[in-house]
């Protein structure tokens, strides 16, 4: 009997050869005896699953199977309201740090993992909230990072950062990335941040193109709240835009004076992994170290 009896299935909208890929995965899943439910929001996108039931709530499935790259996984996390269902992913993107299986592995690995042959790995989330005139106007979770950055106009912005209420610095930069250890291999890494092992309880602050060469990435305990104040008083053009994005999926315009607080939330998601995989193996394979 499978460990995960009800498998929810979602897919990258722009996936190449989508119909063939879905048909192949459906054939493998149905051979295991699981019930397959498809993402209600993408029900009409795939002919191969048009006759399958849909899931609308996390409680209706035992496992979420994602076909796509890291962006699809990050989008799919927003399906989970309680973060109680593990995610298994088949990489059809580019690097795919979060993705676990390649398509050519699915026929052998997918049945084994559905039957309980994998390991569940937890990844911490950060909670992000924004206040304007003392009133909260935005709140959400991120697995990779929250980014506060200038928008369409190429102007540096001033971001006053405090940690546990103590002033840290004012970043005069293109923006600031506040990343989890999971997100340390994403945008933060591209901006010069460190790689942090995903099991550590930490938050990474990585400035984007800081004006001062002395302002470097900082790693702090995840339980320390980070507050970022948008200070536009030194910006020459007052119509310069600043935006908050979570995982590259959620976009919120900000104003001068807005305050954003980021805190390790204690919440986490679960990723179903192959037992033999390790973080260092992933680094070597995805970043092609040693080649």
Specify the CATH number for the domain of residue 26: 3.40.50.10330
pLDDT at site 233: 63
pLDDT at site 289: 82
Statement to judge: residues 20 and 151 lie in one domain: no
Cβ-in-10-Å burial (0-12, 13-18, 19+) of 170 comes to middle
In a domain, 105, yes or no: yes
pTM of the complete model beyond 0.75: yes
pLDDT at site 279: 85
pLDDT at site 195: 96
pLDDT in tens, the chain (291 residues): 678 999 999 998 877 888 899 999 999 999 999 999 999 888 888 888 888 999 988 999 999 999 988 888 898 888 787 888 999 999 876 666 788 888 899 999 999 999 999 999 999 999 999 999 999 999 999 999 999 998 766 678 899 999 999 999 999 999 999 999 999 999 999 999 999 999 999 999 999 999 888 899 999 999 999 999 998 765 555 556 899 999 999 999 999 899 999 999 888 999 999 877 678 888 888 788 877
Statement to judge: residues 130 and 262 lie in one domain: yes
Residue whose C-alpha is closest to residue 142's, from 90, 93, 74: 74
Cα separation, 97 vs 151, in Å, equals: 27
Among the options 70, 158, 247, 258, which is catalytic? Answer: 70
Statement to judge: residues 108 and 130 lie in one domain: no
- Total domains, the chain: 2
Please count the other Cβ atoms lying within 10 Å of the Cβ belonging to residue 111.
17
In a domain, 200, yes or no: yes
Cα separation, 259 vs 226, in Å, equals: 10
Cα separation, 274 vs 19, in Å, equals: 26
In a domain, 157, yes or no: yes
Statement to judge: residues 57 and 152 lie in one domain: no
In a domain, 23, yes or no: yes
Statement to judge: residues 22 and 96 lie in one domain: yes
Report the CATH number at residue 258: 2.60.200.30
Centroid of chain to Cα 148:
16
For the chain, state the CA radius of gyration. 20
Domain assignment of residue 45, given as a range: 6-118+274-286
Statement to judge: residues 241 and 137 lie in one domain: yes
Statement to judge: residues 181 and 96 lie in one domain: no
Check if the beta carbon of residue 100 is closer than 8 Å to that of residue 88.
yes
Statement to judge: residues 79 and 184 lie in one domain: no
Statement to judge: residues 63 and 86 lie in one domain: yes
Q: What is the DSSP letter of 41?
A: G
In a domain, 1, yes or no: no
Statement to judge: residues 170 and 247 lie in one domain: yes
- Examine the residue annotation and report whether 247 is marked as an active-site residue of this protein: no
pLDDT at site 240: 61
């Amino acid at each position: 009997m499978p460990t995960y009896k009800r498998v929810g299935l979602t897919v990258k909208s722009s996936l190449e050869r989508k119909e063939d890929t879905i048909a192949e995965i459906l054939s493998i899943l149905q051979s295991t005896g699981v019930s397959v439910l498809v993402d209600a929001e993408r029900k009409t996108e795939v002919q191969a699953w048009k006759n399958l039931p849909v899931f609308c709530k996390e409680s209706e499935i035992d496992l979420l199977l994602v076909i796509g790259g890291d962006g699809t996984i990050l989008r799919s996390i927003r399906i989970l309201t309680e973060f109680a269902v593990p995610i298994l992913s088949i990489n059809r993107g580019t690097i795919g740090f979060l993705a676990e299986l390649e398509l050519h592995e699915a026929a052998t690995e997918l049945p084994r993992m559905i039957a309980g042959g994998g390991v569940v790995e937890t990844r911490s989330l950060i909670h992000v909230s924004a206040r304007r005139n003392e009133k909260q106007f935005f709140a959400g979770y991120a697995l990779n990072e929250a980014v506060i950055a200038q928008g369409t106009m190429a102007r540096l912005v001033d971001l006053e950062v405090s940690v546990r209420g103590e002033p840290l610095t004012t970043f005069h930069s293109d923006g600031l990335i506040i990343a989890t250890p999971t997100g340390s291999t994403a945008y933060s890494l591209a901006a010069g941040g460190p790689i942090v092992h995903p099991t550590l309880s930490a938050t990474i602050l990585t400035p984007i193109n800081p004006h001062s060469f002395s302002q470097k990435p900082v790693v702090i305990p995840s339980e320390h709240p980070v507050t970022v104040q948008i200070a536009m008083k030194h910006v020459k053009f007052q119509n310069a835009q600043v935006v908050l994005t979570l995982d590259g999926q959620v976009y919120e315009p900000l104003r001068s004076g807005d305050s954003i607080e980021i805190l390790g939330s204690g919440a986490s998601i679960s990723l179903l992994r192959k037992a033999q995989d390790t973080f260092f193996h992933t680094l070597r394979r995805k970043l092609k170290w040693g080649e």
